[in-house]
Amino acid sequence: MSIAGRYTYAQLGGDIRQIRIVLINHGKTILAGDVNVGLQEEALQAFKTRTVPVELILGVGVKAVAQDHLEYQPANSTEIKTLLTQTTIWTAGTAVNPLIQNLKSQIPADRLDKHGLPLVTSTLQLLDFPEVFAAGDCAVVQPQPLPALAQVAYQQGASIAHNLIALAKGTSPSPAHVSLRGTLMKLGLGNGVSNLFGKVQITGKPGDLIRSATYLEMLPTPLHDFKATTEWLKEETFHRDRRPKMKPETTAKQPLSSVEQPERSLIHLCMPLD
């Protein structure tokens, strides 16, 4: 089972026809409010064409997760429903870094966003503590916040390094200039979508390769780049995952009812607890 509007691929052994994958999302659509919202249709299509298609339960809040089931509540309803599970995968995002949590008491409330993240200038310095830099998903850039993406954090990290050198030399720090290269999303094994600069969309294996190459190019040093590229090529060449083959069924497959058999293999993906 998976919880959240992003898909996490899982592979199980045994009779693949006994596997059910259900994605539970708090929103009424997947990727709502996300930087990848423009790739929504591609993601939905990928769910449908999986060896094991992904079922969606949208517009609900997860209330409890137990070893063999979870409980969820549809929006505008007081009814609590139960879904039997054997595996639950939580992909609901991240919490505020513990270091930031500990520093909150030293930062004025009007210098924090609604999630408790510190506001920083265009040079990535804290407003009241210019000797402190913060970036990525640990800060909110003023006046124009940026999406919490790896490609943003990589570029901001490089800017902080340059600004630290500038301060050491007695010169002024420079604003961080971040160039968004588009949205990149992995849709499973050997499948992805790359929306380059918001103009060109490439799907399938080419899209997956472009996504991987983009992140390799952003690694901080040539040594990191070499190591990551070597591991990637080794995985692609010698350890490639293979899709399980489905045996033809003699009878039509019936959808599972609300009282699924406990021995069914279930994977569920969920949203945060309310």
Indicate which CATH number applies to the domain containing 6. 3.50.50
Question: Which domain-ending residue is among 168, 198, 223?
Answer: 168
> Are 21 and 71 found together in one domain?
yes
pLDDT reported for residue 272: 46
> Are 15 and 48 found together in one domain?
yes
| Beta bridge mates, 60 | 74
Report the predicted TM-score, pTM, of the whole model to 2 decimal places: 0.59
Question: Which domain-ending residue is among 168, 190, 219?
Answer: 168
> Are 151 and 234 found together in one domain?
no
Residue 251 lies in a domain: no
Residue 28 lies in a domain: yes
> Are 62 and 33 found together in one domain?
yes
| Beta bridge mates, 57 | 24
Question: Which domain-ending residue is among 112, 134, 168?
Answer: 168
> Are 145 and 118 found together in one domain?
yes
Residue 244 lies in a domain: no
> Are 112 and 85 found together in one domain?
no
Orientation of helix 204-217 relative to helix 150-168, angle to 10°: 10
Query: CA-CA distances (angstroms) from residue 244 to 45, 104, 251?
Result: 20, 49, 20
The pLDDT tens digits of the residues spanning 95-141 come to 788 888 888 889 999 999 988 899 999 999 999 999 999 999 899 99
Residue 38 lies in a domain: yes
> Are 31 and 86 found together in one domain?
yes
Residue 158 lies in a domain: yes
> Are 158 and 215 found together in one domain?
no
| Sequence-separated (6 or more) residues with CB below 8 Å from residue 125 | 131, 132, 133, 163, 173
Which residues form the domain of 230? Answer: 182-238
> Are 161 and 219 found together in one domain?
no
Residue 255 lies in a domain: no
Residue with tokens 């943003």: 152
Residue 249 lies in a domain: no
pLDDT reported for residue 29: 86
> Are 204 and 121 found together in one domain?
no
Pairing state between β 200-203 and 191-196: antiparallel
What is the H or E stretch that residue 267 is in? strand 265-270
Residue 252 lies in a domain: no
Q: Whose CA is closest to 162, among 122, 123, 217?
A: 123
What's the CA angle centered on 171, arms 167 and 173, to 5 degrees?
Answer: 65
> Are 112 and 42 found together in one domain?
no
Q: Whose CA is closest to 210, among 195, 194, 198, 222?
A: 194
150-171 burial code (b ≥16 CB/10 A, e <16): ebbbbbbbebbeebeeebeeee
Q: How many domains does the chain have?
A: 3
Q: Whole-angstrom Cα distance, residue 274 to residue 227?
A: 41
Is the Cβ–Cβ distance between 176 and 124 less than 8 Å? yes
Strands (E), 91-211: 119-120, 140-141, 182-188, 191-196, 200-203
Neighbours of 101 (CB within 10 A): 11
Q: Whose CA is closest to 199, among 178, 180, 212, 182?
A: 182
Q: Return per-residue pLDDT of the chain as tens, 274 residues.
A: 555 544 333 333 446 777 888 999 888 888 777 777 777 888 888 888 888 888 999 999 999 999 999 999 998 899 999 999 988 988 766 778 888 888 888 999 999 998 889 999 999 999 999 999 999 989 999 988 888 888 899 899 999 999 999 999 999 999 999 987 777 777 877 788 877 766 777 878 888 887 777 777 767 667 776 777 777 677 766 655 555 555 555 444 444 444 444 444 455 555 444 4
> Are 160 and 144 found together in one domain?
yes
